[in-house]
Structure 1
Amino acid sequence: MEDRGFDLGARLGTLEENELKRSLSPVDRVAERGYFAAPSGGDLPVLESDEVLVFASNNYLGLTADQRVQNAARQAAATVGTGAGASRLVTGDTLAHRDLERLLAETKGTERALTFSSGYAANVGTIAALEPDVVFSDELNHASIVDGCRLSGAEIVVYDHCDAASLRSKLETRAARSDSTDEDESWLLVTDSVFSMDGTVAPLGAICDAAEEFGAWVMVDEAHATGLYATGGGVVQAEGLEDRIHVQMGTLSKALASQGGYVAGSAALVECLVNDARSFVFSTGLTPPAAAAASEALHLARHSDARERLWENVAHLRDGLESLGFEIAGESQILPVLVGDRRDALALADGLRDRGVIAPAIRPPTVPEGTSRIRVAPMATHEQDDIVACLEAFQAAGEEVGLL
């Protein structure tokens, strides 16, 4: 009989041959330091004996280990339950969800907010539910945005990264097409606010200007910004653009030290998503402990000094890396150390790990060929000695690889 299955061995072999195969490396805890295990496939992992500094986490405020956040999760598990048990539309809607959504809407300056089981589900479900006729998308948007655009069935127009002039040109070109005279045609403009691999920040004001000129809606993904900017919000709040952006999306799994995603906007938007977003309707609700942990983390992001400590560490680390001679891209808490060659990037990451620092090499296909880099992400809970240790590791490893 003819084999119509899949040659998985050949696929894996190709990945290994091209130095693209990735492996899982478990850690004992999510914090600014920890013990890692070597990749073990399906076997039980064995932790290494040496503790290492972690400069690769999206746990930007270091709140996963905060006792107040952990206590909130414990209390929710004890009083509400460990899981939602069903879709929110069945019996999985709890007071823990409503409390978090109220706080998110307040922070984001919107009428309502809605939580999803993941940020990926929030993006895919929202874009597909809106059913836009045309989507204008930044060329470096997250994969969940790309997949949401494809699933929506919209015509997808890609503009140059963080380039408002390119966006305006695409809007003008699309408007000039004869079939764009249909007044019922819907346009959605989607962008990340902070881009996770480049550390760049979208020019949201200029994007809103262009969108308003052509009557398009704007959706902003604040996954890597939520909790880090003004009043614990994102770039939208920092720039005072709440009234000009129709859909604010974000995650609970990064600075908010939990799991899940959210969308904030008008009451009508949320009601439509409750009814039409398949990733919401057909998913079990966010777990109550995750909702409670995110609520407490958001409260701390708004009312503690965690944000200030993060940005102090970012400034110290950026200045130090640039002083050593490394090129650092972006203007956010994400510090991509540009290397170029993928083998050099892998060697630099290995050298850092040998010196007790975890910072991954990001290489194609995640980033374009010739733009491999080390993605460095400090946390609010790193001490000054940790920042110094990271810089010393970069200097020694950079010299060893021949980059300095």
Structure 2
Amino acid sequence: MFLSFSDFPSGYGYLTSALREAGHEVFGCNPNNVMGYVNAYQMIQGVISKRIMDVEPDLIGLGGLCTDYGFLKDAIGIIRNTTESPIVLGGQIVTNDAEFIFNDLKPNYAIVGEAEEAMVSLANGDGWSSGLIKIPYEDYRPIDKLPFPDYEPFDIKEMMEEYSMATRVLYRYSRPNPRPYNIVASRSCPFECTFCVHERRGIPYRARSIENVMEEIQISYDKYHFNVLIILDELFGNKKRLVEFSSGVLEGMDRYGWDFDWMFQTHANAKFDLESLKLAKKAGCYLFSYGLESASPTVLKSMNKKMDISQVVDVIQMAEEAGVGFAANLIFGDIAETPDTVAESLAFWFEYGRKSDIFLGEVKPYPGSKLFEGMSFE
């Protein structure tokens, strides 16, 4: 359930803007946060069926991660019992396990990969020889040419105003009354960690220009007056990009009166320095997160993390000197995990977790990952 906008799937916003740009009318449905139902199924049944009857859509789209399987199965059943309009399914649940999901959940269409072009094509009435659709990466629009995401049909204002404190614990807010807003600054990832799915998608990492990101910030800030900005980008914190972004935010503060704090994601190999991090702090950066996963060299090698734990120690000390918070996850259960490697990670956590937001979790073999391919299911 999406109780907070900071966890709301950005794909819906991008699809909305692409469809509207092509001249189509888009209605949203946010089957969350509705009180008075006995259980979650009755809530989504009531909300989805009523919305369909109210707007009578020609095409219905939904999607998510593999962890959304139960919801998607229920939602498709509710849609089938309410209307004969075709269903389009997308998201990583399709991209990472396309044939199984298409045959199991039985949507009319399932889109593999990024869906803007395919969704517009379906809405235009273009004929497809197969219900399983994949647009070649070469036919994707340049990332800076995509229209900015449009979240208006999905109750974004209500989520920001009423549910911002209901987000996951990783997002430590710097404001007592947070109004968080996400901005997607890149797509895909250049790394090939064994527990992740980017390696199998065949879609390269593409970063938006900072100029393009700043344009979206200006439009979105004027519209929503957010005070916490969450930058979604697997490799945001390289020095050049961090300096360019920080300088742009400082200019926005001066020219437009921007008043928000921000956080970013990055990798140990981004290699920013103290000077650039201090500039980010001046521009309102209060936190950044690393994809740490383990403090054991053995496990890091098994995960194909391509990093050394000494890099993390150095950056934690750098963050403390700059006055910026550090966040990360330690996930246990890799195929190379042993009691000794667990002890290594816990020792790291005990030493550095007191001044940093380092959370403990477990490895999950998601479909599409190299880890999943090595699993045996009986």
Between 1 and 2, higher relative CO (CA 8 Å, sep ≥ 6) is seen in: 1
